[in-house]
Amino acid sequence: MIIFPAIDIKDGKCVRLLKGDFNKITSYDKSPVDQADVFFKSGFKDIHIVDLDGALLGEAKNSEIIKEIIKKVKSRIQIGGGIRNIDNINSWLEAGVDKVVMGTAAVENIGLLKSACEKFKNKIAIALDIRDGLIALSGWTKQTNISALDFIKEIENFGVSRIIYTDINKDGTKKGPNIKDTIELSSKVKIPLVISGGVSSIDDIKKIKSLNNSNIEGVIVGKSIYDGDIKINDLVKLI
């Protein structure tokens, strides 16, 4: 199972949101570059990065910082936020990222998603941000009536490499991830899922790992690391 420590970037800083609310934001002292270096030197082979400004505005706003991270660390980087077209995807892959994460653009333009998957084999991931079973878009500010399962079934044969499943109601709360719904969804689809949102302790990670569910590819951990609830040294032992 892959453990992805997360770096969310807004206005050039490491931040975490509470339930996707940009009015409930916590900033942290370490710069995104320094934080990525800590993760890499601790032994994490993968890092999950989101350009929150990009997610809101529909275009990359922290690309220089992210490119500096790519140059400095040797971890595999997956990047999301503001990726809306083929040129965006191509430029990130040329910069050296491992996976490009599409969110809003993938849901609003299924043709674009299909083209991207065909052009960039095994390089396209999808971030599905779910509120009460339905997909939210544009940095979680736009609620749809599209069910996660219906959407995944529609794109299941495109060649999407993984789906990052975030329960918005859990994200940033440190009240435990929505394991039940993620497991239920994983049993109905073929694309590997990554659990995101609400991880509160090392026990949450151990529980997910103990499931031995071949369709749960990994878990993303953010706020609990930054707040000290999960020690990096303990977490890296579970890789």
Q: What's the distance, Cα to Cα, between the start and end of the chain in Å? A: 7
Catalytic residues: 8, 129
Residues ≥6 apart with Cβ < 8 Å to 94: none
Q: Which residues of 72-97 are buried (b: 16+ CB within 10 A; e: fewer)?
A: ebebbbbbbbbbbbeebbebbbeeeb
Amino acid at position 227, single letter: D
Q: Is 102 exposed, middle or buried (0-12, 13-18, 19+ CB in 10 A)?
A: buried
Q: Please state, in angstroms and rounded to a whole number, the distance separating the CA atoms of residues 81 and 125.
A: 12
